[in-house]
Amino acid sequence: MARRQSPSPSGDAPQDFVENIVDIDVTSEMEGSFLEYAYSVIYSRALPDARDGLKPVQRRILYMMSEMGLRPDRGHVKSARVVGEVMGKLHPHGDTAIYDAMVRMAQDFSLRLPLIDGHGNFGSLDDGPAAPRYTEARLAAAALTLTDHLDEDVVDFVPNYDNQLTQPDVLPAAFPNLLVNGATGIAVGMATNMAPHNLVEVISAARHLIAHPDATLDDLMRFVPGPDLPTGGRIVGLDGIRDAYATGRGSFKTRAKVEIEQLSARRTGLVVTELPYMVGPEKVIEKIKDAVNSKKLTGISDIVDLTDRQHGLRLVIELKNGFNPNAVLQQLYRYSPMEDSFGINNVTLVDGQPQTLGLVKLLSVYVEHRIDVVRRRTAFRLGKKKDRLHLVEGLLIAIVDIDEVIQIIRSSDEVAAARVRLMSIYDLSEIQANYILELRLRQLTKYSRIELEKEQEELRREIAELEAILGSEERLRGLVSSELGEIAEKYGTPRRTVLLESEAVSPTVAAALAAAPNGKGKAAPLALEISDDPCWAILTASGQIARTSNQEPLAESGPRAKHDVFRSVVKTSARGEIAAVTSQGRMLRLQVMDMPVLPPMSGLPNLAGGVPAKDFVTLLKNETLVAFAPLDEILAIGTTQGVVKRVQPDYPLNREDWEVIALKDKDQVVGVAPAGSEETDLVFLTREAQLLRFTAANVRAQGRTAGGMVGIKLGAGDQVLFFGAVTAADDAAVVVTIAGTNGALPGTAPGAAKVTAFAEYPAKGRATAGVRAHRFLKGEDMLLLAWAGHGPAKASSLGGVARSLPQEHGRRDGSGIPLSQAVDAVGPAMAWGDPS
């Protein structure tokens, strides 16, 4: 490298000019300069310190905010002011880098335990923050534990960039910030990417390591099973996490938290409430739309972002009918950021050198740092206490002979002479003598000696305690452990991220995967569209509509709403059609695919999972659904006024609803049953306890617009309570009646229940009054409930269903037994149905 002096104006070199040209190898110069630059980036910018988990810029921000007094109990100040103070005094770089670091420490979706309390727009996962002139900030409460006791010589201070001020080389860090909040950074030739963890879990592991310095990785992983991400979500597969804890490098998959919900009576959706770490909803929506447009994703009809501050993240993905929600979810994990990978690379600075550390080493470095901080703090406090004790002891000596002390001071020509005389007469040190000379007269009251003696006793006790801590490594480590426990209790929060050893699937999905191997050691993907599998369409007594996922025999009991049982059950298939008959004589065409699926629970359908009929179909005023029915069979219909009709299945193909019986004024459909066989018995039961049984052959099949014919002859004021069909050869068929008092509130009047074999009732001709089915006791004047068929069940007030009905007894026209004996103690039967 040549160094030349500027030539003189005349062009001649000065007489003392000596040319000195030094040849330097460019390769060596580039290597040296690059290494110097690389080290500067590694040490001064990009990588966190293993002790406090902070990069230099983060440390300088927190320290300067502490020096500015921006505590949680004081008001916020402009972020621009903080940035200016940090840049002007400590950080010789641009304001953008300082503000970016400050913003990240305030974001609760970036850090598990935010260190700055931000006021204003500090950004989101999809948008950046407002400018520093628009936002305000102060230290969060947790940040105070990182900067506490800096004035007690707990860490070394180093000069700032211009050697005019000093700054801490590292913060005291009362909790393992590096593991709790994680870190990201790109240096020259290396990078770091550390996942956040749960504060309580990390501190528990640190305390275990303090008590057991030789603890193994397995011991610590009992306390820290895996990362705890600020945004929650699910971590699938823990092998990569163990690798990262063992070697400092590893990876794991994070998934969104998704629930399959019934958005409306006909529409199912996937509701996302938690996303993978650092993935925003707008990015997810964009990727899903791109995948749908490119035909990679199918089965999605719409996606709506319902996120707000009150309820948090809520991303609703609406599905098309006929698509398997679990299969669509698998596609979303594959083609959208709803599943993401996080690579752990624990590169951090240890004694100024970058190292890749596992969990044991990371906690060990922190624990050693914290023990050193507490030791230095204890030694500092011990020195302060000893200095104060020295002054108190000197003052006590002076107060005993205060008149003489005053006389010595007054008779001295100058302060130095007084100091010397006090030191020689009372054997005081120079410090004690100076302190006595600086005393104020108000300190010489008669109470001063008592107060000083108390202070002397307290100081001696505190000094003994501090010396005991410094003299015992066990007590020192115990103090560090107890302080960590206090931090965990004060700032700890429950775990947000769910850890899964493997992908969690529902029983239905697991069965499908197990039944469809692809021959490569992995389960084949789920079928995207729902197949046309056999199933049951169910209408319950409370008006719930649903279908099952298969056509397994329906169980007699299972989870259900209170007092709810099967009212109408039809065999069909997932992509089939059925009919629903209403109380006003209308028939509605229903797509089975649109019905919500009842997930099997130990083989039992959960009736509480259906949707109300009024939300699924459009009903008229005071109209209800009476029953489901197949569209290809002859049906028998009975009304409250005793009309019966067998209707031919010649329904219109281009309509969704039509009239299936022409009703008279104030008449309503009370029952519907398949009656294709003319050997089937049709049964009417009235409120006056009249039962009429006749064969379907007595009722000719009619068109859908006909009004039917007389089925049972009713007495004055009587009306039909039940209509149904019973197979004549069914020996297990029974008739169930429950009698009560007209107008009485349920449960306020005694009643009677009766079960009789159906075969005991003789068949009669159509349009007759039938026979007596129940003899009323005193206080009874009508039937409350009536039912005829195979195997009825009762529903209790707790939602259970059982067959513990009263045994058949007496004659068919006899009275019943008390209702309290007919049902269990949890409540009376309120609805009847055939679960078979």
Q: Of 472, 470, 471, 488, which Cα lies nearest the Cα of 208?
A: 488
- Per-residue HEC secondary structure of 504-548 comes to CCCHHHHHHHHHCECCCCCECCCCCECCCCEEEEEEECCCEEEEE
- Residue 269 CB: number of other CB atoms within 10 A? 23
User: Residue 77: left if φ>0, alpha if ψ -120 to 50, beta else—which one?
Assistant: beta
- Residue 624 CB: number of other CB atoms within 10 A? 14
Residue 779 identity: G
Taking the C-alpha atoms of residue 820 and residue 753, their distance in angstroms, rounded to an integer, is 9
- Per-residue HEC secondary structure of 142-208 comes to HHHHHHCCHHHCCCCEEECCCCCCEEECCCCCCCCHHHHHCEEEECCCCEEEECCCCHHHHHHHHHH
Q: Is 134 a catalytic residue?
A: yes
Q: Which helix (H) or strand (E) holds 257?
A: strand 257-262
Residue 103 identity: V
Taking the C-alpha atoms of residue 239 and residue 588, their distance in angstroms, rounded to an integer, is 55
Strands 597-598 and 544-548 come out as: parallel
Taking the C-alpha atoms of residue 547 and residue 533, their distance in angstroms, rounded to an integer, is 12
Question: Structure tokens of 299?
Answer: 């089965």
Question: Structure tokens of 477?
Answer: 């480590």
- Given a contact cutoff of 8 angstroms between Cβ atoms, the answer to whether 223 and 204 are in contact is yes
- Residue 84 CB: number of other CB atoms within 10 A? 15
Q: What is the CA radius of gyration of the chain?
A: 43
Taking the C-alpha atoms of residue 182 and residue 362, their distance in angstroms, rounded to an integer, is 12
Strands 166-168 and 709-710 come out as: unpaired
E strands along 275-346, which residues? 300-305, 315-319, 339-345
Strands 635-639 and 669-674 come out as: antiparallel
Which candidate in 99, 134, 245, 435 is catalytic? 134
Residue 736: C-alpha distances to residues 56, 535, 644, 657, 739 (Å): 83, 29, 21, 34, 10
Taking the C-alpha atoms of residue 225 and residue 131, their distance in angstroms, rounded to an integer, is 39
Residues annotated catalytic, as ranges: 134
